[in-house]
Chains A and B, each alone.
Chain A
Amino acid sequence: MSMIEEMPIADTSAGTQDVIRSAKPVSRFRLVLSRLRSTPRFWVGIVGLGAIILWAVFGLVPYAWNATDLDVYNMGSSPTALHWFGTSDIGEDIYAQTIVGLRKSLVIGLLVGPLAAIVAGIVGAVAGYLGGWWDRVIIWFIDLLLVLPSLFLFILLSPIFKSLSWVALIFLLAGFGWMIMARVIRAQTMSLRERDFIKAARFMGVDTWTIIRRHVLPNVSSLLIIDATLGVGGAILSETTLSFFGFGIQAPDVSLGTLLSAGQGAAATRPWLFVFPAAILVFTVLSASLVGDALRDAVDPTSGVNRD
């Protein structure tokens, strides 16, 4: 009996039920969707992420203060009805600043995740499809970046990016966020290359780039969607860490990282300067990674977390 309990029952069962019931063959998209619907983790994540995005957009509407306002009568006040998250020692409103910072962090995360996934898809597909020297050079480059922690490279490159606007940071983060996924895509592409439909296209004389664009990339798209989702949280983490130490977002701009950096000195004595932005940061990243994880389970229920 206990053996049966140990068997990983789960996500697959939701899918097979659908297959048996419906008369028409179920499309892959609907199968994934039905698996997603039965995963509580997905609902927790998607509702959390939706709430955070709505809050970032509309959070300042019912509020009297702006991020740049200074309330000289309430400097260093704890959370009150007037200042929901309290104020800093020069009277900046923490609630308004948190929302402005959250907007920036969200924009960075939501752009970097998909961008890095696109790079991963193209690089991985090229390496896997072309093989030979292309493959060797690309894999070697990826391995190198896995040995050299990307955080250190970000810090090294920060003098260049400090002088540019915060948009440059998006490209920097995307430029170093694709390595692990590219390896996975490469492995997938190598097995796809030997499949009949790709061979047929090749023998018909379709050129390489068209095969990659039309046949390889659509077949690994589910992996790329997962990577894009998981990348959102990762990018926000990288951005806040860089900004926290002064290497990311620079002074006039506010992100959750710079806000936490400003609040850290008073973290023990006036915790609201630190705890509120930190909690919102953790909640945002958590929601995004829950959605990504549920997507991964739904697309491939047999896959482990081990993606390499």
Chain B
Amino acid sequence: MIGFIVKRFINYAILSAIATLSAYVLASLILNPAGRYLGRNPRPSDETINAILNGLGVNPHTPVIERLWTWLVNLVTHGSLGDTIHNTSVISEMTARAGTSLRLLILGTIIAAIVGVVIGVWGAVRQYKFSDQAISYASFTVLATPSFVLGILLMIVATFVNSTLGIQLINFTGEYTAGLDGGWWVHFWDRAAHLLLPTISLALMGAAGYSRYQRSAMLDVLSADYIRTARSKGRTRGSALVRHGVRVALIPMSTYFAYSFATVLAGAAVTELVFSWHGMGEMLVQAITQSDINAFTGAILFNAILVLIAGTLSDVVYAALDPRVRV
């Protein structure tokens, strides 16, 4: 089992490393960091621009391979990801933002996984009954809704709730209320209240996808012989379904989870932008609009590490559920 997980981990690590390096090369080829200075009035001299770009290590006159090598050496020897065009280090920018994104991502993913699995199993057990049909159509509708539309619709509902109740019950812009006075507890509640809508938005998207897959995986299992055996040897229906059914139906889900995590990351970035959170998603999009190669690579590295962790975790779950791997 350890061997299996280590092998998978190395596989994901290589993929993540290559993804980050290709992101650096792609960004270097496409983005034009000099453009930012050319538009200034008065226009800085070419020497100044070159000096600035050299300082950041993004001068387009240097060959891409050479820049990539400098970037890599910097990363290995100094643990540095370079500087952003605002002359702050990418690492400090990332540590400031990562918490914001992680809070949303972890909560959203866990809620989505639990809700998705429960709804999927429920739908499979009650196949073609009304509740199954309702769940199916509801999840198709959520899957057909882009995440930004879902976020904004939630905001409209929240505004409506607030105005009917006459109080600011649900907050939804930004991550916290600026200039809020009060103790630790007040701040905690304020952040939790701001977290509500983005988390719902992200969890809904995830749960809709997971429930479709869980339902069909569960349907495959329900018709299997060992469920009938478990029933005939005297297990109750619920016990047979949970101990023998759900456990087996979760195995394909763990693989699907690893593959779908990249989509979750993209969805989270969109959700952050819609709710104007200053997280990694915003950093990534801003880096592209401002032609900031180092910041972009940093953001991609962050995503790649998350994919690496999610992939390894899902393999651990896989190994725990499937005895065939544990030899």
A and B: bona fide binding partners: yes
Instruction: Give residues in A with beta carbon < 8 Å to B.
Output: 2-3, 6-8, 10, 143-144, 146-153, 155-160, 180, 233, 237, 240-241, 244-245, 260, 264, 267-268, 271, 274-275, 278, 281-283, 285-286, 289-290, 293, 304-306, 308
State the interface size on chain B (CB cutoff 8 A). Answer: 60
**A-facing mask of B270-298, CB < 8 A → 1, else 0?**
10010000000000110010000000100
Determine if B143 is an interface residue (Cβ-Cβ < 8 Å): yes
Bound Cα distance from A282 to B143, whole angstroms: 9
Bound Cα distance from A192 to B228, whole angstroms: 34
- The distance from the CB of A176 to the nearest CB of chain B, in whole angstroms, is 12
- The distance from the CB of A168 to the nearest CB of chain B, in whole angstroms, is 14
Given contacts A8-B219, A305-B213, A308-B259, contact A157 B155 (CB under 8 A): no
Bound Cα distance from A264 to B152, whole angstroms: 7
Instruction: Give residues in B with beta carbon < 8 Å to A.
Output: 15-16, 18-19, 22-23, 26-27, 30-32, 125, 127-128, 140-141, 143-149, 152-153, 155-156, 159, 212-213, 215-217, 219-220, 222-223, 227-228, 231, 237, 252, 255-256, 259, 262-263, 265-266, 269-270, 273, 284-285, 288, 296, 300, 303-304, 307
Given contacts A148-B304, A159-B30, 17 further A-B contacts (CB under 8 A): A147-B262, A151-B270, A156-B31, A158-B288, A233-B144, A241-B270, A244-B146, A245-B270, A264-B152, A274-B156, A275-B153, A286-B140, A289-B140, A305-B216, A306-B252, A306-B256, A308-B255
Bound Cα distance from A3 to B266, whole angstroms: 42
Cross-chain contact A157 with B30 (CB below 8 angstroms): yes
Which residues of chain B are near A293, meaning CB under 8 Å? 140
Cross-chain contact B216 with A304 (CB below 8 angstroms): yes
Which residues of chain B are near A150, meaning CB under 8 Å? 266
Which residues of chain B are near A274, meaning CB under 8 Å? 152, 156
Cross-chain contact A149 with B223 (CB below 8 angstroms): no
Bound Cα distance from A2 to B149, whole angstroms: 42
- The distance from the CB of B274 to the nearest CB of chain A, in whole angstroms, is 8
Dominant secondary structure at the B interface: helix
Bound Cα distance from A264 to B274, whole angstroms: 10
Cross-chain contact B300 with A306 (CB below 8 angstroms): no
Bound Cα distance from A161 to B217, whole angstroms: 40
- The distance from the CB of B141 to the nearest CB of chain A, in whole angstroms, is 6
Q: Which 3 A-B residue pairings sit nearest by Cβ, starting from the closest?
A: A304-B216, A285-B144, A286-B144
Q: Can you name 10 A-B pairs with beta carbons within 8 Å?
A: A148-B300, A152-B266, A152-B300, A156-B23, A156-B296, A159-B32, A159-B288, A180-B259, A278-B153, A286-B140
- The distance from the CB of B303 to the nearest CB of chain A, in whole angstroms, is 7
Cross-chain contact A282 with B141 (CB below 8 angstroms): yes
- The distance from the CB of B249 to the nearest CB of chain A, in whole angstroms, is 10
Bound Cα distance from A148 to B266, whole angstroms: 9
Bound Cα distance from A244 to B255, whole angstroms: 31
Cross-chain contact A241 with B146 (CB below 8 angstroms): yes
Which residues of chain B are near A282, meaning CB under 8 Å? 141, 144-145, 149
Dominant secondary structure at the A interface: helix
Which residues of chain B are near A304, meaning CB under 8 Å? 213, 216-217, 219-220, 252
Given contacts A7-B223, A152-B284, contact A278 B149 (CB under 8 A): yes
- The distance from the CB of A2 to the nearest CB of chain B, in whole angstroms, is 6
Which residues of chain B are near A156, meaning CB under 8 Å? 23, 26-27, 30-31, 288, 296
Which residues of chain B are near A278, meaning CB under 8 Å? 145, 149, 152-153
Which residues of chain B are near A143, meaning CB under 8 Å? 15
Which residues of chain A are near B296, meaning CB under 8 Å? 156
Given contacts A151-B266, A156-B30, A159-B30, contact A3 B148 (CB under 8 A): no
Given contacts A2-B237, A156-B30, A278-B153, contact A146 B147 (CB under 8 A): no
Bound Cα distance from A175 to B15, whole angstroms: 20
Cross-chain contact B220 with A144 (CB below 8 angstroms): no
- The distance from the CB of B6 to the nearest CB of chain A, in whole angstroms, is 18
Task: Write the chain A residue with the least CB distance to B153.
Answer: A278
Q: Say which residue of A148, A289, A306 sits within 8 Å of B23 (CB atoms).
A: A148
Bound Cα distance from A146 to B148, whole angstroms: 22
Cross-chain contact B228 with A147 (CB below 8 angstroms): no
Cross-chain contact A144 with B22 (CB below 8 angstroms): yes
Which residues of chain B are near A148, meaning CB under 8 Å? 19, 22-23, 262, 300, 303-304
- The distance from the CB of A120 to the nearest CB of chain B, in whole angstroms, is 16
- The distance from the CB of B97 to the nearest CB of chain A, in whole angstroms, is 16
Cross-chain contact B273 with A245 (CB below 8 angstroms): yes
- The distance from the CB of B205 to the nearest CB of chain A, in whole angstroms, is 11
Task: Write the chain A residue with the least CB distance to B172.
Answer: A268
Which residues of chain B are near A275, meaning CB under 8 Å? 153, 156
Bound Cα distance from A233 to B270, whole angstroms: 18
- The distance from the CB of A135 to the nearest CB of chain B, in whole angstroms, is 16
Given contacts A147-B15, A149-B303, A157-B30, contact A286 B156 (CB under 8 A): no
Cross-chain contact B259 with A3 (CB below 8 angstroms): no
Instruction: Find the residue from A149, A155, A264, A275 having the highest chain B CB count within 10 A.
Output: A149
